[in-house]
Amino acid sequence: MQSPKDESTLNPQFITQFEDYLKSCGLRLTQKRLDILNQVFDYPGHFQTEDLLVQMRRNGYLVSRPTIYRTLPLLVKSGLLTEFIDAQKNTRYESIHSLQEHAHLICLRCNQIVEFKEPRIDALQKAVCEAHQFKPVRFRNEIIGHCAECQAELEPKTTEANDEPTA
């Protein structure tokens, strides 16, 4: 039961944060949980549970599917991982890299996920938190709808139809 040596550059604060959360639930930061934490932060972009399992196996970790399924929600609750539901109702995850948050546009039809950053939204959220003396851990912004391509396919004649005389 060995784990590969990780040359991970994981921020030690993240380890502390996870460990503190686990302690508050009466759980320990086991090597498996630490491995998953490391690999979550190594994952580029959004992933589903199975994607993480594939990455971990490829990197030589001996980790079971149930362990990953049990650990990801703990990471979400600890504030280190964001969870969102895509248009196909799959749960996707993304690690928090610093507090550099971004928002998502999720297309209901093709399931495309576009990321965007909007400083005005960030500023507004901070102002709202301050007004309520609320200490934010993370922000989650999602706009669900239809991308430009899908709109074109869903409503191909909307703009022209107005000009056409009715027969």
Question: What distance in Å separates the CA atoms of residue 118 and residue 107, rounded to the nearest whole number?
Answer: 19
Question: Smallest distance, Å, CB 146 to Zn ion?
Answer: 6
DSSP string over 70-110: HHHHHHHHTTSEEEEE-TTS-EEEEE--TT---EEEEETTT
Question: Smallest distance, Å, CB 140 to Zn ion?
Answer: 10
- 150 contributes a contact to Zn ion by CB under 5 A: yes
Of the pair 56, 147, the CB lying nearest Zn ion is at 147
Question: What distance in Å separates the CA atoms of residue 48 and residue 51, rounded to the nearest whole number?
Answer: 5
Question: What distance in Å separates the CA atoms of residue 42 and residue 8, rounded to the nearest whole number?
Answer: 8
Of the pair 65, 97, the CB lying nearest Zn ion is at 97
Question: What distance in Å separates the CA atoms of residue 104 and residue 84, rounded to the nearest whole number?
Answer: 10
Structure tokens belonging to residue 132: 């309520």
Buried b (16+ CB within 10 A) or exposed e, 2-16: ebeeeeeebeeebbe
Give how many residues touch Zn ion by CB under 5 A: 7
Site string for Zn ion, 95-114 (x = CB under 5 A): ------------x-xx----
Question: Smallest distance, Å, CB 80 to Zn ion?
Answer: 14
Question: Interface with Zn ion by CB under 5 A: which range of 6-14, 20-28, 54-62, 150-158?
Answer: 150-158
Of 75, 57, 70, give the one whose Cα is nearest residue 4: 57
Question: Interface with Zn ion by CB under 5 A: which range of 64-72, 129-137, 142-150, 159-167?
Answer: 142-150
Of the pair 131, 148, the CB lying nearest Zn ion is at 148
Among 50, 115, 118, 155, binds Zn ion (CB under 5 A): 115
Of the pair 10, 103, the CB lying nearest Zn ion is at 103
Task: Give me the residues that bind Zn ion (CB under 5 A), please.
Answer: 94, 107, 109-110, 115, 147, 150
